[in-house]
Structure 1
Amino acid sequence: MTAATLTIDLDAIAANWRALDAKTACETAAVVKADGYGCGVGRVARRLAHEGARRFFVAVAEEGAALRQELGPGPEINVFSGHMPGDTDMIGDLALTPMINSLDQMLRHLEALPGAPFGIQLDSGMNRLGMEPAEWGALRDLAVQQNLTMVMSHLACADEPDHAMNAQQVRTFRQMTDGLSVPRSLAATGGILLGPDYHFELTRPGVGLYGGRPFAEAQPVAHVQVPVIQIRDVEPDETVGYGNTWVARAPARIATIAAGYADGIIRGMGAQAYVWVGDTPCKVVGRISMDLIGVDVTGVTPDPEAVELLGHHNGVDTLADAAGTIGYEILTSLGARYRRRYHST
């Protein structure tokens, strides 16, 4: 078998959810958008439901429809994008809960599905989604008379604990919501770690469930093992890969492994990235191509049959740092070519 193997550790996802839940005194939901951050929404959500999660968040109604098929009736499925044109049948038939972002969405929802549940998303300063204070002030009394399930907002700088924006947003959110008798939610993973002032009645961790920053205690979730196709001896002054970007300065043993940017291994990380053979780091050499990567395995004995690209040595954020990006992009870029396996005890 030549394809690399991607193993998703469902036990680790469950442990990460429990650890984040233990940091609060409120309900803990789960964000499973983007196919469970690339990990497979069905397997991920079913495991989290087994652990006790009763509310889930997705980005768009189509994701909510797929999730409802996986979870069946019961768990609440919240849609961040709200009630968009064309979503009414999915929302109504599949009991999805849109997070209403504007007056237009509010009217669409109340006219099309009177009595159906909805949440409200407020803009507390991020200027991305949600009602601004003036719009919310005009609609607040109407909203609370309907089937309102929660009011939420989103932090812009929660991964920077000392950033002044965090305190500014929690003040704004309180000003917009104090006195309401419905659950409030402000904190994703980073907000949970900021402490109780940000927790309110519901938290909704995302990337921390999947082993990413800023949850430093997270267990790694995604593990990628890549087969070695060939190993060759390279002499001084010989080059490896497209563009002759890597030149051997001494005799070297170079392994060609079966993965590339078609598998979500970002091309730009090559100059900084390592893979691992056991406890030995091995430098990526030359340009990452569509299907193949060169790796310096000089001194590794015996010749490796596979290397670890993601796992306990290389977390998603380690690869992200090498690529100049964030762990979210690494996770959600993992391609369709992997042989996928799930670990669960």
Structure 2
Amino acid sequence: MATGHLTIDLDAVARNWRALNAMTAQGTTTAATVKANGYGLGVERIATALARAGARQFFVAAAEEGAAVRAALGPDFWIGVFSGHMAGDAELIRDGNLVPMLNSGEQAARHMQALPGHPFGVQLDSGMNRLGMEPAEWQSLREMLLAAKPELLMSHMACADEPGHAANLSQKRAFDAMTADAGVPRSLAATGGTLLGRDYHYELVRPGIGLYGARPFENAAPVVTLSLPVIQVRTVEKDEAVGYGWTWGAERPTRIATVSAGYADGILRVLSNRAILWAGETACPLVGRVSMDLLTVDVSALEHDPESLDLVNAAHGVDELADEAGTIGYELFTSLSRRYRRSYTGG
């Protein structure tokens, strides 16, 4: 086949959830964030594996995503929506029994009018200045919203992947001040906050990226292998160039494999002349520019022409590839192409 093969280890996803769950104190629930189609890995299979591992509460970014998770899991799971109650969402929220995290007074009014009595949570801004009610708005609405019995008060941390950053304690103190004596379950920590320790756990943590085997959960089990098929191998002679723009030239006779993948598959163009592909334990550098459908890779170190090369595997994970691209694992996960042939192990 001329498309890459993406293998997703569902048992590794489950192990990562259990490992993060084991870090929390008794009385803290470990939810699972499965937004963006399970971080690009297929939300139906990911959510089902997490449910089997023990997760009972899930978070998504938008109501449409929540409807997909509900369809996959059935009625017996709690599904929160970070974007809250957007205009036009009432039917999705009601029919999917979703729990919007209300981000503003406007959303609160919309929810109470459209779905009186329907469960909701409240998102508070503790200093990230992105989503949630700021302290003054929350103070003006607090009594009314608490009387309506929210199921969760939450906020989100800006710098939790940097344990020593001053923002972590600052946001915790702000969150504590806004939620003191509220008598409602609270959540501040995603993956990074979970790793900061139990002072940040409150009644619920909601890891995301750590479930999928990436930083900041350094001890996570690897989840993804991405193997790319080789279409053709040729010898490029000394002083010949490769690819668009002739950005790489051979200093000696070089065996070049043309690989079926490119930026249409989520392999960022910035990886040109930077990325490393792998044949077992042998490193094979990407040379020349990443094009839409093709890569060119130096396989001179191999004794035989390869049938495929790995871009991501257990030894060279998504974080290492992200380092080569100057980005983060989140971006690479969510850029994975629909062209890849996908298979799942475990679960």
The aligned amino acid for 2:78 is E
Conserved 8 A contact 1:229-1:258: yes
Partner in structure 2 of residue 214 of structure 1: 216
Q: Paired residue for 1:273?
A: 275
Task: Find the aligned partners of 1:183 and 1:165 in 2 and give their Cα distance.
Answer: 22
Is the Cα–Cα contact under 8 Å of residues 270 and 322 in structure 1 kept in the other structure?
Answer: no
Residues 274, 287 of structure 2: 8 Å contact kept:
no
> CA contact under 8 A between 2:10 and 2:344: conserved in structure 1?
yes
Q: 2:12 maps to which residue?
A: 12
Alpha-carbon distance in 2 for matches of 1:252, 1:89: 60
**Structure 1 CA distance for aligned equivalents of residues 54 and 263 of structure 2:** 37
Instruction: Determine if contact 2:275/2:286 at 8 Å carries over to the other structure.
Output: yes
- Contact preservation (8 Å) 2:284, 2:297: yes
User: Quick check: 1:124–1:154 contact (8 Å CA) kept in 2?
Assistant: yes
Q: TM-score, normalised by structure 1?
A: 0.99
Q: Distance in 2 between matches of 1:29 and 1:278?
A: 36
For residues 194-233 of structure 1, the aligned pairs below 5 Å read: 194-233=196-235
List aligned pairs for 1:225-244, cutoff 5 A.
225-244=227-246
* Seq. identity, %: 61
2:121 alignment partner, one of 119, 122, 128:
119
Aligned residue in 1 for 2:191: 189
Check the 8 A contact 2:256/2:296 in 1, yes or no.
Answer: yes
User: Are residue 292 (structure 1) and residue 274 (structure 2) matched?
Assistant: no
Q: Which of 65, 80, 83 is the matching residue for 2:82? A: 80
| Counterpart for residue 24 of structure 1 | 24
Note if contact 2:240-2:250 (Cα within 8 Å) is conserved in structure 1. yes
Q: RMSD value over aligned CA atoms?
A: 0.8
User: Bigger CA drift: 95-104 or 137-146?
Assistant: 137-146
Residue 167 of structure 1, aligned match among 158, 162, 169: 169
Counterpart among 299, 302, 305 of residue 303 in structure 1 = 305
- TM-score (norm. length: structure 2): 0.98
AA in 2 matched with 1:133:
P
2:296 partner letter: G
Q: How does 1:53-68 map to 2 (within 5 A)?
A: 53-68=55-70
Q: Shift of the alpha carbon at 1:316? A: 0.8
Match of 1:118, as an amino acid?
Answer: F
Residue 5 of structure 1 aligns with an amino acid whose one-letter code is H
**Mapped partners of 2:7, 2:309: distance in 1:** 14
Q: CA deviation at 1:289?
A: 0.6
Give, in whole Å, the separation in 2 of the partners of 1:344 and 1:266.
29
How far off is 1:307 after superposition? Answer: 0.6
SS in 2 for 1:227: strand
Structure 2 residue aligned with 1:251, among 224, 248, 253? 253
Matches of 1:264 and 1:205, distance apart in 2: 24
For 2:306, give the aligned amino acid: P
Q: CA–CA distance in 1 between the matches of 2:47 and 2:183?
A: 28
**Structure 1 residue 23: Cα displacement:** 0.8
2-side partners of 1:44 and 1:164: how far apart? 34
- The CA distance in 2 between the partners of 1:271 and 1:142, in whole Å, is 58
Mean CA deviation greater in 238-247 or 311-320: 311-320
Contact 1:116 1:147 in 2 (8 A): no
Instruction: Tell me, in whole angstroms, the C-alpha distance in 2 between the residues paired with 1:281 and 1:194.
Output: 35
Is the partner of 1:287 in helix, strand or coil?
coil
Contact 2:230/2:306 (<8 A) preserved: yes
Partner Cα distance (1:147, 1:43) in 2: 33
**Kept in 1: contact 2:248–2:273 (CA 8 A):** no
Letter in 2 for 1:8: I
Q: Which runs of 4+ in 1 moved over 3 A?
A: none
Q: Shift in Å at residue 125 of structure 1? A: 0.2
| Letter matched to residue 108 of structure 2 | M
Distance 1:222 1:265 in 2: 15
Cα-to-partner distance string for 1:297-319 (whole Å, 9 max, x where unaligned): 10301221111111112211111
- Tell me, in whole angstroms, the C-alpha distance in 1 between the residues paired with 2:77 and 2:301: 53
CA contact (8 A) 2:284 2:301 kept: no
Give unmatched runs, 5+ long, in structure 1.
Answer: none
Equivalent-residue separation in structure 2 for 1:147 and 1:112 (angstroms)? 17
Is the contact made by 2:78 and 2:98 (CA closer than 8 Å) also made in structure 1? yes
State the alpha-carbon separation in 2 of the partners of residues 240 and 219 from structure 1: 37
Gaps (5+ residues) in structure 2? none
Partner in structure 2 of residue 132 of structure 1? 134
CA contact 1:259–1:290 (8 Å) conserved in 2: yes
Quote the residue 1:100 is aligned against.
102
8 Å Cα contact 2:282/2:301 also seen in 1: no
